[in-house]
Structure 1
């Protein structure tokens, strides 16, 4: 196995310089760091992580807890988180909470026992005291992702969920819809869903329209058809457009509507939230609020590593969203556009994060 002494010789620097570079401590000039990186790559050097952890009190690992891997939006966030971590020489440990607060606490405790150097978490609610107190008591920096900032919790990377949901409502009203409804995941299990509900309902009230019906379902979307049948059971009063709190629910709603003999969007328009890639390929393609999930994960890892390095990044980080128009929305009685009209933010620029 290659030794640190051989790396130092190859890079023409001292062993101490290689050690400082590996431990991410100050004092290594950019040009010197470049030579050390090239030496490590050329010699396929693998540091002894156990020894380094004991010596530096750093595992060079970050943890991330997400609600579920079934929703692609969280996988995209993990991908961005991992990219930012690797760019700074860190590995990533991941686990899920399945929208269960007790599992969430267990997941955080497990990662902290592994002494991760930082932790990102999509909490059930950003104001949940048990998890926040446990994180605050630990010396490792943490960042909440997707959660809502609160007056006493600013370490958050997210989008403005209420404003984004309001844009969805305004789009449906612009198409001429006046009877609107929302299908959401359990509000008690997600502060994001609560804020999307608030934004949607609030926008409709500001526009002077009747309050929309709001129905809760499990985040798995397996129980969506009974709720949809209740909403759409009476043709004279049923809503002509639905907003769903995530894309998985929206896709499930479209499938259930088709099985009920309804056509989307001719009989009912559907808007989702997240902007997952699958929504483009679905038939009809889904109109959806796009949030930059990869960038959310990337910014979360960068912020916590900046704090670990002694910097003071501006928090919370509120990233932009957009509405991507697909084929699932149109004026009542009309079909959607034959091709989607994408309205998306530019591709991620990691250098800007």
Structure 2
């Protein structure tokens, strides 16, 4: 029911009385309708962020496309404060509080990557690790060798190593920089290699989909170090998702008392993928995350890829949690769609 309020007064010119009619309840009803639509729009904008946060933190991978989308979590995290800010401005307290909670969930997941961690008490020798995906052997071999010299790499892992690329790297002088090797060159993207300044003892490669070679590195004055050239299958279509997952799960876990382990290469995964987080929880540290550089992207450096696709961090150096991380870096390599990654590691005493 609408209540009409009537006020009677004199006109400005002293003539006949003027009646002013107001309908406060009708006006309130119209304002309430407008408020309802504003709230509905805000909640609709909040819902995708909330679902994304729940899926990311829950570690559930319901479908192939989510396995790709979750890589873009840092961008979603950057956009998540928009909803609570709008809700505060529009005085929608419930949506604002819910939006803040979701934004905080994203912040807890992403912000630590930009904050350096502490290091364990590692006082052994320093080992410099470099990892490069050479895109079916198309990367500039001279640039790879020059990068190994510039970073003073002690160990280089190479992904997508073909027989032709291996020969080109030798012609560019890699054998003079890193004379020891364990390699499995294969056509296409399945091959990999491990080059070292120090003597190597080869171990059976991890042959789940792609060939991930590994070896024990005999570092002078340090404990034995097992290094793996990491390259699981790329989950580029639904049929490869299982191969990608199995390739990550086949990687060795740190034992705490056995050899120090270092995994370096193209993981085809970011720190938002549950499989990589599970691997880290087994006793590894991401070198870039440890130095506060975990948001520096590595892929794609060149096409063909969808125009305007935001870059993500697929390449990593993971070190046993007993290892200190002094520095990390990302480096452009002409001819490949991945940027190389490097880390300066401090081993525990023997």
In the superposition, the TM-score normalised over structure 2's length comes to 0.28
Per residue, is there more helix in 1 or in 2?
A: 1
